[in-house]
Amino acid sequence: MLIQTRNDGFVHPLSSEITPQSAYEDRRRVLKLMASGAAGAALASWASRDALAQAAPAPGKLAALKGVKSTVPGAQTMEKLTDYKDATTYNNYYEFGTDKADPAKNANTLKTAPWTVEVEGLVKKPGKYGLEDLIKLSAQEERVYRLRCVEGWSMVIPWVGYSLSELIKRVEPQGNAKYVEFVTLADPKTMPFVGSRILDWPYTEGLRLDEAMHPLTLLSFGMYGEVLPNQNGAPVRIVVPWKYGFKSGKSIVKIRFVEKEPGTAWNKAAAQEYGFYSNVNPNVDHPRWSQATERRIGDGGGLFAKRTKTLMFNGYEPQVGQLYAGMDLKKNF
């Protein structure tokens, strides 16, 4: 995400344009082969590498967290899973740095135990949930969601968690609760970029109450059958598959029910670029780039990164389209 709006002269790098090291190395390797006349062989090996590529299971280094296959409509897909390595080394988690490789390098300092999530605001039953209690609050399900970043790349990840609505029903929102705000951890001692001027910390996000109640909105504790790696938002995060990835706040410490639309981290940083709704919408370009297509991470590699058409609501239109009936989605971007 590129920020040019600050008047202190700070210009943020456009992370979508940063080539991952593996792609760069592959490119160098193929260019070398081309120079030696072996381009055909290189292309063949590249193609077979892709054809053979299967999603690697999690390496088994983290605690297992299994879920039953979800039957929520839209929660399964036949699409190839993103390789675990790609899903855990190509991340946005700005508290740990702005390069895609930074979270995997730096998030080992994140302290995920003990962990408490506070539910507050306009609810009849506010309270503090220890992580273990929160995990046990409902049956863990496995959901395979596409997640598309506003920067134009996407992944397919098997998440573990349960519908956020399970928690919301327990805490009983009051009649005037219209929005849910998610507040994520901002600990300058363990998060090296908290305190920098990149964003207003803590990173916050928000949903309309009906969006938060939609069965596809996931409170997630794991992926690939294990607890979340730190860089992916351990120990608990939101995953909203029909919205751009930045709506899916990581490492959540507070869930607050409010009457008015809450401010959100990227909207505060650049309101004209990142609206509150942030539904994946190929018909609304980002002011500085098109949203019509996307690049699936690990699919086709760095050399010939093929782009596929981005679908309205990231392909979840049958499930979520009715939430926005009658709304002007160009205005409410």
Footprint on this chain of ligand MTE (rule: CB under 6 A): 91-95, 147, 149, 184, 203, 232, 245-246, 248-251
Tell me which residue has its CB nearest to ligand MTE. 245
Closer residue to ligand MTE (CB): 244 or 324: 244
Q: Are 163 and 88 a contacting pair, CB within 8 Å?
A: no
Residue 203 CB, nearest distance to ligand MTE (Å)? 4
What's the closest the beta carbon of residue 8 comes to ligand MTE, in angstroms?
Answer: 20
Specify the residue, 45 or 140, whose C-beta has the smaller distance to ligand MTE.
140
Lookup result for tokens 């299967």: 54
Helix, strand, coil percent values for the chain (each to nearest 5): 25, 25, 50
Give 143 or 250: the residue with its C-beta nearer to ligand MTE.
Answer: 250
- For 114, 265, 277, 332, the CA distances from 61, given in Å and listed in that order, are 20, 32, 36, 42
**Nearer residue to ligand MTE within complex by CB, 46 or 230:** 230
- Which is closer to ligand MTE, CB of 173 or CB of 302? 302
Residue 147 Cβ vs ligand MTE, minimum distance, rounded to whole Å: 6
Neighbours of 278 (CB within 10 A): 22
Residue 19, C-beta contacts closer than 8 angstroms, at least 6 positions apart:
27, 302
Supply the minimum distance, in Å, between the C-beta of residue 298 and ligand MTE: 12
User: Nearest approach, Cβ of 91 to ligand MTE (angstroms)?
Assistant: 4
CA pair distance 169, 166, nearest whole angstrom: 5
Omega within 30 of 0 (cis) for the link into 229: no
